[in-house]
Structure 1
Amino acid sequence: MPSARCRRCSKHRLQDRGSEAMAGTRLEASRKGPLLYGTFAQERGVHSFSLDLLDDIDRFLDLIDDERDIRAAIVTARGKVFNLGTDKTQIESGLRDFVQFRRYLDRFNDTMDRLERAPVPTIAAVNGLTRAGGIEIVLACDVTVIAKSARIGDVHSAQFAIPAGGSTQRLPRRIGLPRAKDLIWSGRFLDAAEAVEWGLCHALADDDALLQTAEALAATYIDKPRQCLFESKSLINRSVTMAPADGIELEKQQFLHYVQNYPYVRDAFEAFQASRKPAEARA
């Protein structure tokens, strides 16, 4: 059943890619078949986080929850910047009012947690400079494609700050403890090739082929049933907080529940044995 937030946003239906469901906002959402796109865009300045943008991301996630034929989502940006983190107005306001700052940080992290738990694969297509909250949204996505000219880093320490949006937790799980410490403490940027070598990003793309590369990656996912993708994603995400034996026990339980409740699994097995293509699974 859709969430209350999702039901409130049910008016945000999408048709073909190119239609804007959130006109005038900082995130534009569009559809192309089973792919949902979220694109950071604004008329002036650089892409940064605000409460308005967090609202947009939540509406974007509502669409994923509500539109059951969506199989994957791509998050990218226009221009030469992906995202530079929380905007200076929000930071200045927060430094004057720490109660408000705490509310903002809670809201930011709630949205990143929700993105991380999205029921479909999420792909960050990093087109340009990315730092602070920008790397934190990348870390909340499942995989990342990065343009060759892009640079990415945490960079909080360069302003004598520490992360507050998940970098200290998600970055070590992505690239390991020593590299995470180095990247956070140094405050430096990685170039695109380094980011792939370190495991921060999944694939390198020519600048003019970034979106096509992300779409090609998504194409290897979206031919599977949505529930299949969700079940495996939830198990993988939970693996980092569970002992291996407990995780394997959960995997067995979830497998049996899945096979019993989704008949297309049996059909796919029989199709494989008969060397035929399985029937399309809509769930």
Structure 2
Amino acid sequence: MAGTRLEASRKGPLLYGTFAQERGVHSFSLDLLDDIDRFLDLIDDERDIRAAIVTARGKVFNLGTDKTQIESGLRDFVQFRRYLDRFNDTMDRLERAPVPTIAAVNGLTRAGGIEIVLACDVTVIAKSARIGDVHSAQFAIPAGGSTQRLPRRIGLPRAKDLIWSGRFLDAAEAVEWGLCHALADDDALLQTAEALAATYIDKPRQCLFESKSLINRSVTMAPADGIELEKQQFLHYVQNYPYVRDAFEAFQASRKPAEARA
């Protein structure tokens, strides 16, 4: 196995994507982006998937673009632009995935690694892990979404500080800043991510998708426009998915609603 690949596996309604390779540290290449796209194809095609967890083997989550890709890109900027377009298209697609996505950060994470974390909905981080943007430490700037997603996750001043300083946050600080959602013992990272996912996957997939799409769009819309869209989407949803009425009646009758597969 040359370079980092994403291995997909199922655990009931959960889909796992795990960074893996035989030697070296996890990094991005065109092959890895192909794997992520296939992973997202599975989410689109298999309607019983309710959530996805992205993690890695070993002590590194992901350190960003492979050095060979960077070296070739610095010699050929047309090729570099194609790679950056492809990377960002894949991150955009991950951000729009129709189920909740959880990054389970097991170790050192920087550059493209933080950019895939930011494209996921929520993040669980192991206590020994460290995370940062780090581009400026190499006199570079982000090109995979950090300048856009990081301020929306942690606010403008902290995003500027993290990008300008080029430093890493330890796991506790990452949670305190809101970059990560939950802190986990190293040997309980996946169990913590699964426990978080369990609070989502008992809902209908369409319910999760409808609310996710509205939340994602909220950062680009005026509040009044967003509320109007929310009302329209709500009415469309309740009219087209009969299990909403059953769930309401079940709540009134103190019973469990019928299982909704949509």
TM-score (norm 1): 0.92
* C-alpha separation in 2, matches of 1:277 and 1:89: 54
The alpha-carbon distance between structure 1 residues 148 and 71, as it changes in their structure 2 partners (threshold 3 A), is: same
In structure 1, the gaps of 5 or more residues are: 1-21
- Cα displacement string for residues 238-278 of structure 1 (whole angstroms, at most 9, x for unaligned residues): 00000000000000000000000000000000000000000
The alpha-carbon distance between structure 1 residues 196 and 269, as it changes in their structure 2 partners (threshold 3 A), is: same
Q: CA deviation at 1:35?
A: 0.2
**Percent identity among equivalent residues?**
100
* 1:42 alignment counterpart: 21
Q: CA deviation at 1:24?
A: 9.5
Q: CA deviation at 1:203?
A: 0.1
* C-alpha separation in 2, matches of 1:25 and 1:165: 18
Q: CA deviation at 1:146?
A: 0.0
* C-alpha separation in 2, matches of 1:188 and 1:168: 15
2:227 pairs with 1:248: yes
Contact 2:19 2:57 in 1 (8 A): yes
2:155 pairs with 1:176: yes
Instruction: Give SS of 1:48's match.
Output: coil
Stretches (4+) displaced over 3 A = 22-25
Q: CA deviation at 1:217?
A: 0.0
* C-alpha separation in 2, matches of 1:209 and 1:263: 38
The alpha-carbon distance between structure 1 residues 24 and 197, as it changes in their structure 2 partners (threshold 3 A), is: closer
* 2:178 alignment counterpart: 199
* C-alpha separation in 2, matches of 1:67 and 1:197: 35
* C-alpha separation in 1, matches of 2:162 and 2:251: 46
Moved more, 262-271 or 24-33: 24-33
Q: CA deviation at 1:66?
A: 0.2
Alignment length (residue pairs): 262
Contact 2:3 2:26 in 1 (8 A): no
The alpha-carbon distance between structure 1 residues 89 and 146, as it changes in their structure 2 partners (threshold 3 A), is: same
In structure 2, the gaps of 5 or more residues are: none
Q: CA deviation at 1:23?
A: 12
* C-alpha separation in 1, matches of 2:18 and 2:2: 12
- Cα displacement string for residues 49-90 of structure 1 (whole angstroms, at most 9, x for unaligned residues): 000000000000000000000000000000000000001000
Contact 1:25 1:56 in 2 (8 A): no
* C-alpha separation in 2, matches of 1:40 and 1:132: 16
Contact 2:4 2:28 in 1 (8 A): no
- Cα displacement string for residues 114-159 of structure 1 (whole angstroms, at most 9, x for unaligned residues): 0000000000000000000000000000000000000000000000
The alpha-carbon distance between structure 1 residues 23 and 282, as it changes in their structure 2 partners (threshold 3 A), is: farther
* C-alpha separation in 2, matches of 1:42 and 1:243: 44
* C-alpha separation in 2, matches of 1:26 and 1:261: 39
* C-alpha separation in 2, matches of 1:214 and 1:120: 15
Contact 2:4 2:26 in 1 (8 A): no
* C-alpha separation in 2, matches of 1:214 and 1:33: 14
Contact 2:91 2:116 in 1 (8 A): yes
* C-alpha separation in 1, matches of 2:257 and 2:157: 45
* 1:123 alignment counterpart: 102
* 2:240 alignment counterpart: 261
Contact 2:4 2:19 in 1 (8 A): no
TM-score (norm 2): 0.99
Instruction: Give SS of 1:210's match.
Output: helix
2:151 pairs with 1:153: no
* C-alpha separation in 2, matches of 1:25 and 1:274: 52
Instruction: Give SS of 1:144's match.
Output: strand
Contact 2:2 2:21 in 1 (8 A): no
* 2:164 alignment counterpart: 185
Q: CA deviation at 1:25?
A: 6.8
* C-alpha separation in 2, matches of 1:142 and 1:252: 23
* C-alpha separation in 2, matches of 1:218 and 1:192: 20
Contact 2:133 2:146 in 1 (8 A): yes
The alpha-carbon distance between structure 1 residues 53 and 254, as it changes in their structure 2 partners (threshold 3 A), is: same
